[in-house]
Amino acid sequence: MSDGLAALADHIQADLAKIAHPGMPWLTPVTAPDGRPALDVLIVGAGQSGLAIAFALRRSQVTNILVVDKAEEGREGPWLTYARMPTLRSPKDYTGPDLDVPSLTYQSWHEAKFGEASWRDLNLISRECWADYLLWYRGVLDLPVRNGCEVNDVTPAANGLIKATVKCAQGEETLYARKVVLATGQEGMGDWIIPEPLRHLPASRCVNSAAPVDLEKLRGQRVAVIGAGASAFDNAAMALEAGAATVDLLCRRAEIQLVQPYRWLTFRGFLRHFSELDDSWRWRFMRAVLELREGFPQATYDRCARHAAFHLHQGAPVEAARETADGVLLQTPRRDIAADFVICATGIAMDFAGRPELSRCAHNIARWADRYTPPPEERSARLGAFPYLADDYSLVERGAGETPWITDIHVFAIASTMSFGPSGSSINAMTTAVPKLVHGITRGLFRADIAKHWAAFKAYDVPQAVIRTPELADGGA
Ligand X SMILES: Cc1cc2nc3c(=O)[nH]c(=O)nc-3n(C[C@H](O)[C@H](O)[C@H](O)COP(=O)(O)OP(=O)(O)OC[C@H]3O[C@@H](n4cnc5c(N)ncnc54)[C@H](O)[C@@H]3O)c2cc1C
Q: By CB under 6 A, tell whether 184 contacts ligand X.
A: yes
Q: By CB under 6 A, tell whether 408 contacts ligand X.
A: no
Residue 46 or 249: the one with the smaller Cβ distance to ligand X is 46
Please provide the DSSP assignment of 183-213 as one string.
---TTTTEEE---GGGTTS-TTTEEETTS--
Q: By CB under 6 A, tell whether 424 contacts ligand X.
A: yes
State which of residues 185, 190, 229, 297 lies at the interface with ligand X (CB under 6 A). Answer: 185
Stretch binding ligand X (CB under 6 A), from 74-82, 216-224, 242-250, 267-275: 74-82
Beta-ladder partners of 164? 154, 175
Residue 150 or 279: the one with the smaller Cβ distance to ligand X is 150
Q: How far apart are CA 184 and CA 8, in angstroms?
A: 30
47 burial (CB, 10 Å; 0-12 / 13-18 / 19+) is: buried
Tell me, by CB under 6 A, how many residues bind ligand X. 32
Residue numbers 428-457 binding ligand X by CB under 6 A: 428
From the CB of 358, what's the least distance to ligand X, in Å?
9
From the CB of 62, what's the least distance to ligand X, in Å?
19
Residue 332 or 394: the one with the smaller Cβ distance to ligand X is 394
Stretch binding ligand X (CB under 6 A), from 81-89, 136-144, 397-405, 457-465: 81-89
15 burial (CB, 10 Å; 0-12 / 13-18 / 19+) is: middle
From the CB of 85, what's the least distance to ligand X, in Å?
6
Residue numbers 231-290 binding ligand X by CB under 6 A: 231
For the chain, how far is it from start to end, CA to CA, in angstroms? 67
From the CB of 45, what's the least distance to ligand X, in Å?
3
Residue 45 or 190: the one with the smaller Cβ distance to ligand X is 45
Listed in sequence order, the residues at least 6 apart from 417 whose beta carbon sits closer than 8 Å to its beta carbon are 286, 290, 386, 423, 425
Q: How far apart are CA 137 and CA 434, in angstroms?
A: 16
Q: By CB under 6 A, tell whether 300 contacts ligand X.
A: no
Residue 92 or 311: the one with the smaller Cβ distance to ligand X is 92
Residue numbers 125-164 binding ligand X by CB under 6 A: 150-151
Number of H helices, E strands in the chain: 16, 17
From the CB of 164, what's the least distance to ligand X, in Å?
9
State which of residues 89, 110, 282, 410 lies at the interface with ligand X (CB under 6 A). Answer: 89
φ, ψ dihedrals at 255, nearest 5° = -135, 140
Q: By CB under 6 A, tell whether 208 contacts ligand X.
A: no
DSSP 8-state class, residue 153: E
From the CB of 462, what's the least distance to ligand X, in Å?
42
Listed in sequence order, the residues at least 6 apart from 159 whose beta carbon sits closer than 8 Å to its beta carbon are 30, 31, 32, 33, 38
From the CB of 69, what's the least distance to ligand X, in Å?
4
Q: How far apart are CA 292 and CA 261, in angstroms?
A: 7
- Do residues 225 and 345 touch, judged by C-beta distance below 8 A? yes
Residue 297 or 444: the one with the smaller Cβ distance to ligand X is 297
Name the site residues for ligand X (rule: CB under 6 A): 44-50, 68-71, 76-78, 83, 88-90, 150-151, 183-186, 231, 357, 413, 424-428
